[in-house]
Structure 1
Amino acid sequence: MDNAYVTTPFGRRPMSLGMLASQQLAEEIEPGITRSKWKLFRAICEARPALGVTDRALTVLDALLTFYPADEISENRGLIVFPSNAQLSIRARGMTAATLRRHLAVLVDAGLILRKDSANGKRYARRDRAGEVEEAFGFSLAPLLARATEIEMIAAQVVADRELLRAIKERLTICRRDIAKLITVALEEGVDGDWGKISGIFRDILGRLHRAATIDDLSSVLDDLTMLREEIVNLLNIKTNSNKMIAKESQTERHIQNSNPESIYDFEPALEKEQGAKSAKEIGRRSEAMAGEDRTLQSDGDGREGKGPTKSASTPSGEGGQLKSFPLGLVLQACPEISAYGPGGQVGNWRDLMTAAVVVRSMLGVSPSAYKDACMAMGPENAATVMACILERGGHINSAGGYLRDLTRRAENGEFAIGPMLMSLYRSSSPAGRKAG
């Protein structure tokens, strides 16, 4: 074997432990292993940063490989190339002798080639009578063959990281664009929300980006931007869904007034049985009275309706002020457990949610009077939403009845809003929230 013994460099070039380790590694080549020299060279180019070589050093390695007589590097064909400096300089794009020596040293230090110097430092081959190379002195490519699998794995990882980095940057660009334009449309349309604070958070997240950002840095920024985009979309969806619900409930009010003036609980016998027909009708009359007040507030000076902001009939006025309602879809996303208690094991509309809330009320030991007071203070839809939230947080609440009465008292005093509780549950139930938790 060409590399069966330790060799030291010629002249004043020092020996190092790294050279010794490379020589020992080169002796551990697996029998029969071969590699295409150009495919292996492309892998080295991909893995260049990890291998610690420069692009000029790769130019020299490219030139050295051209002196290997076959396309496949194999131990059986020999692993020594022995070009003169003049020939090597020509194939290295006219590189000067001093520059050649410097970059050859880089390849040796990186453990990609070995020096096998002759007694006088010349590079040559001694052949037998048949013309076969018997012994050669020059540069050994044995480390390339010994480290072929390692180099290919490093190259594959570099390629995968580059593709991942490209994908993350692409997603990051799209997410930045989405957030910027969503904030703009929210400001132009006058959507409720602290958009100045949201814009500040957006700027702070972008401030963490820098030119030398790693995949981990970009992934962290992308996760935060994705969560911020979800929050913004939720706020805009709440606005959109609220407008749709207002229009739908306005039509429902006219239908109820023409066909059945009784409470919406006429379609919910379980709740009426629990609370009593008188209580249900009282809630219905209160809701319709507030709906009439809403229409009065919506009228302009000429007595026409439809001017100015509209309010949902399911947004009652408690003694302490207005309590904002939220779309059913958002409630079900934030509180998915309530669906199992609806008719047929699902909740498809507000009536199903209120029916499920009565079942949950009984299951959690909340008294009918406590739930009746909550309906009076918050409105039936909001009371059902609160019951869904209590069910979702059941493991953290010792007394569901006492907790509901406390929320009812705060709602009557204008000190309670469903939004923070609902959005907290929504974030914790979303995939991004579970990941963060």
Structure 2
Amino acid sequence: MRFISGSLRLSAVLVIASLVGTPAFGQVGRAAITGIITDGTVAVIPGVAVKATHMATGVVYEGTTNEVGSYNISALPVGVYSVAFTASGFKTLVRDGINLSAGQIARLDLTMEVGQLVEQITVTAEAPLLQTETTQGAESVSSQVFATLPLAFGGRGRNMADFAARLVPGVRSSDYTMSIQGTPGASAGIVIDGMTNLAGFLPGDFAEASISSEAVQELTVVTGTASAEHGRQSGGSLVFTLKSGTNQIHGSAFYTLRNEFLHANDWNNNLNLAANPNNTAFRRSMDRQKNYAGSFGGPVYIPKVYDGRNRTFFYFTAERFFTRTLGPGSLTRSVPQPEMWDGDLSRLLLPTKVGTDALGRDVFEGMIYDPSTLRKVGNRYVADPFYGNINPLPPPGCHFPTPVSAGWVPIPCFLSSSFPAAAFQFSAIRSATAPTIR
């Protein structure tokens, strides 16, 4: 009895563990097929066994027609299927090449012929399935289409949102969000493998759901009259279906490089350079991008231990994007040179005369004065300039910043935010790295 009770407890634990580990799939990111099976007299056929086989993985999904000849198989992963219909007294009917997209409910009404089960009718070419079970408007883009698109749009690498904006009518994207059918930019939703992505600070911000282009099997854009699962978003949704491993080991890799030395200057810059070849402002701006990614997937197979073909699969992708640009409108700031930290501002002093002071002395551009010598002469104030524009001692009140960490040396004095000498200007270089692992 002790052994039996222990076995029962172990069985109960295993049952609970199996229930906990079993996912409950919804229709978001999945598909379904439905229909009515009839015979040659248009009489419905109950009890027809329906088997939908996912061609890439070999996984079989089953269903049976009810008393009115209707069947429904839901929660199907996207992809291409072969659907077989078998019933006693009828020839086996097989429909190949059923391509299902995310959220699609495909209707497949068929007529079976009287005959033996060993006889089989296979339909391989027929009109595309119509979406008659829902009024939801949607457009789907497959991974094969992604592979043939240009390298990048908008300077952000192979961004799926940018691709959708150029492939699906009524969709527009920006650096932070996207608009569907003219709705506000923050009203678009993002769904990844059935999970709604609402983690971003801005709804519809694709940057918060960075997905490698190698990981996407299909992108479906819900554009109007959305069903209940997309009803929370007034502007539609982007539904991403990620790739899965299959019965065959497969992988991919790509590397793209963009550099200003590999492409031509624009027409306006060439025109200005023709007039002044030494003007560096009109040379090709820094425009460098590197984008590389790889993927690997297949069945989980351990020789003599576990054969996961038709059952268990794995898939891994990783992508990295790096950009370094310097173009028109870049942020420009003036910074002090090392000698300026010691009070030597002679480089700022220019020979351009800008006027005279109250004592009749010439005032030159960039000249600095000793504030301790400030005095009133008549109705005007005057101060003595530092000789050679060199301040030997920091004036009283100069701000000394505190180091923020060990090893940092503070700059002795903050200077003006604007210097007349353009030689000290630099432009900010934008550098971004976006790793993605799925």
Asked if Structure 1 and Structure 2 have the same fold, meaning a TM-score greater than 0.5 normalized by the shorter chain, the answer is no
More helix by share: 1
Q: Give 1 or 2 for the bigger CA radius of gyration.
A: 1
**TM-score normalised by L of structure 1:** 0.25
